[in-house]
Chain A
Amino acid sequence: DGGITQSPKYLFRKEGQNVTLSCEQNLNHDAMYWYRQDPGQGLRLIYYSQIVNDFQKGDIAEGYSVSREKKESFPLTVTSAQKNPTAFYLCASSLQGSLIYEQYFGPGTRLTVT
């Protein structure tokens, strides 16, 4: 079964701690994305990667970092510099080229920082 997995589903952290969210896909997609969603809001792009070992900042990259060492994996680190990290984080992937409009999403990780 092809798809995107994110773990864990719920994550609780204390303020001041860095935390890494996992995202793995077995769809053989080239491009991967990280979005943040706040209650009742749309999706905002944090980082995206079109190819291994390359990634670009999205609209709200401050306080976050990513790596893309393998095609299947695109972990997101929420650092202590992120002022308001509590949110629902969604990872997505798509085929490259002309098909980026159709993105496949993982189930998300709900992060709570207190």
Chain B
Amino acid sequence: GQSLEQPSEVTAVEGAIVQINCTYQTSGFYGLSWYQQHDGGAPTFLSYNALDGLEETGRFSSFLSRSDSYGYLLLQELQMKDSASYFCAVEAAGNKLTFGGGTRVLVKP
């Protein structure tokens, strides 16, 4: 089976940088996705890494190291609207995603 670990909560101030780490154990790894979910809302796709390295999409970047079974999501220039839960998800054999428990990010003024 698959297992993912990410911190449960992170607090930061507006304008700061936050890094959310995700370590995983899986067989047949294809890639790592990141999703954002505001309270009471639906998850929305943020980014995907299949190869080692950094992928940048605006203020958000995602990194993957396949050899370390590790990835992270970097949130830069934090805004109040970034307060949400962030989930990493592993794509492995079986055409499905397995999600981590989520990291709640609280942005303070």
What residues make up the interface of A, taking CB atoms closer than 8 Å to B? 31, 33, 35, 40-45, 48, 50, 56, 58-59, 90, 92, 96, 100-108
Contacts and interface: CB of A to CB of B under 8 A. Distances in A.
B44 to A, nearest CB: 7
Contacts of A40: 102, 104
Interface in B72-109: 87, 89, 91, 94-102, 104
Contacts of A56: 94
Q: Is the interface of B mostly helix, strand, loop or mixed?
A: strand
A43 to B, nearest CB: 4
A107 B42 CA distance: 5
A57 to B, nearest CB: 11
B43 A43 contact: yes
B24 interface: no
A101 B42 contact: no
Nearest to B4: A42
Contacts of A45: 96-98
Given A42-B87, A101-B31, A108 B42 contact: yes
Contacts of B97: 45, 100-101, 103
A27 B30 CA distance: 24
Nearest to B2: A59
Nearest to B91: A101
17 contacts: A31-B95, A33-B96, A42-B99, A48-B96, A56-B94, A59-B1, A90-B42, A100-B95, A101-B30, A101-B31, A101-B91, A101-B97, A103-B43, A103-B97, A105-B42, A106-B42, A108-B41
